[in-house]
Amino acid sequence: MFGKRADGRVVKNMLIIDRAAPYFMPQRIDAVNLFAQDWNIGAAEQFIIDTKKATGVHYSLTEIVLAAAVRMLYERPKTNRFINNCKVYQRNRITISMSVKKALTDTAEEMTLKMYFTGRESLPEVKKIFENEVALNLKAADETHQTTKTAGALSKLPGWMFKFAMWLFRFMDKHDMLPGKLIHISPFHTSMYVTDLRSIKLDKIYHHLYNFGNTSIFTSIGKANYVPVANRDGEITMQKQIKLGFSVDDRICDGLYYGNSVRHHFMKYINNPELLMQPLPEPELSGKELKRKQKADKKLAKRLAKKEKRDAKRLAESEEK
């Protein structure tokens, strides 16, 4: 309570307009900005081919986007903020949520993944985290993610009880009383939500930001298209491009800061994936910051250890069947 949460801390010493913005626009839907970014994927595809030949490891465009997003959220900390009850919070962790279908059929179950990062991970490390999360949650047809289990339990309640439970969750979240365990499994409490639409042959979309939870950025990856591009001399060439759609909570940072974050960090990394092959060094922290980080790391490690043990048990039971 009173500004203390399991997933962030209140930002102090802000500029007047930044502090006032959440009061002018109390809901995320009030403050959402939408924009698209063209991505010439030629360099990224060549990187994937060259790396495959050199190391035998195949990286996907999705993994490159995830790694670039993680790096941007780390290097540009204002993009890793959220608004709750008109207060601005800095997240304790970098998390990315994704929705994944178990199969490309109308009736296949949709799973929601939530991945945790320090922000310093290399592309190989991001790939491992992503693949492990997918493997643990999509291993077998009868596997069920903890998020889906929780939603399933709530959906079995009578309508009025379901509404009351959601009202209670919203109230607790608004007043910083939502337990860390619920925040940990909630895909709506995340730094960024990513959806990859290439497998279903759709172009980018501008996805809504959820008022429930505190997701501040939603990114969509559209299908690839060949488009004519003119250079300064008027010569036209065909480029293979993907459109990326962004929905952003305007209250977390100003347009210049976010524009620089996307242009000079996110786009730099997806256009030059080789820059992501090495992890970033551990930062030097003050005594207070180090103590806070160690405490947060300990809590997260405990939660992840329990999750890993639970997932391992589920996989073992599935293999026995």
Structure tokens that stand for 9 in this block: 């801390």
Instruction: DSSP letter for 4, please.
Output: B
Whether 74 maps to a domain, the answer reads yes
Whether 1 maps to a domain, the answer reads no
pLDDT at residue 299 tops 60: yes
Q: Whole-model pTM?
A: 0.84
Q: What is the pLDDT of residue 99?
A: 86
**Least confident span in 190-194, 244-248, 298-302:** 298-302
Segment 16-27 shows an average pLDDT of 91
Residue 212 sits in the same domain as residue 139:
yes
Chain-centre distance for alpha carbon 240: 25
Domain that holds residue 295: 286-321
What is the distance between the alpha carbons of residues 80 and 96, in angstroms, rounded to a whole number?
11
pLDDT at residue 225 tops 70: yes
Q: What is the pLDDT of residue 155?
A: 75
User: Where residue 293 falls among pLDDT bands split at 50, 70, 90?
Assistant: low
Q: What is the pLDDT of residue 313?
A: 74
Residue 233 sits in the same domain as residue 290:
no
How many structural domains is the chain composed of?
A: 2
Residue 271 sits in the same domain as residue 300:
no
Spatial contact of 266 and 39, defined as CB atoms under 8 Å apart:
no
Segment 201-205 shows an average pLDDT of 91
User: Where residue 142 falls among pLDDT bands split at 50, 70, 90?
Assistant: very low
**Least confident span in 131-145, 204-218, 225-239:** 131-145
What's the whole-number average pLDDT of the chain?
Answer: 87
Residue 193 sits in the same domain as residue 294:
no
What is the residue whose two structure tokens read 């003050």? 286
Share of the chain above pLDDT 90, in %: 60
Whether 277 maps to a domain, the answer reads yes
CATH code at position 162 = 3.30.559.10
pLDDT at residue 304 tops 90: no
pLDDT at residue 291 tops 90: no
Residue 306 sits in the same domain as residue 237:
no
Residue 309 sits in the same domain as residue 165:
no
Whether 23 maps to a domain, the answer reads yes
Residue 69 sits in the same domain as residue 155:
yes
pLDDT at residue 263 tops 80: yes
Beta bridge partners of 10: 89
**Least confident span in 41-55, 75-89, 305-319:** 305-319
Whether 53 maps to a domain, the answer reads yes
CA angle 186/301/308 to nearest 5° reads: 70
Residue 137 sits in the same domain as residue 169:
yes
Residue 258 sits in the same domain as residue 297:
no
Span 173-185, pLDDT tens digits: 999 999 988 898 8
Instruction: DSSP letter for 107, please.
Output: T
Of 267, 251, 289, which is closest to residue 79 (Cα–Cα)?
Answer: 251
Whether 2 maps to a domain, the answer reads no
Whether 31 maps to a domain, the answer reads yes
Of 267, 222, 269, which is closest to residue 242 (Cα–Cα)?
Answer: 222
Instruction: DSSP letter for 283, please.
Output: P
Q: What is the DSSP string of 18-47?
A: HHHHHHHS-SHHHHEEEEEEEEETHHHHHH
State the pairing for strand pair 87-91/8-10: antiparallel
Residue 319 sits in the same domain as residue 276:
no
Segment 294-300 shows an average pLDDT of 72
Residue 184 sits in the same domain as residue 275:
yes
Residue 99 sits in the same domain as residue 247:
yes
User: Where residue 283 falls among pLDDT bands split at 50, 70, 90?
Assistant: confident
Whether 3 maps to a domain, the answer reads no
Q: What is the pLDDT of residue 2?
A: 59
Spatial contact of 318 and 143, defined as CB atoms under 8 Å apart:
yes
Structure tokens that stand for 258 in this block: 């976010």
pLDDT at residue 137 tops 70: yes
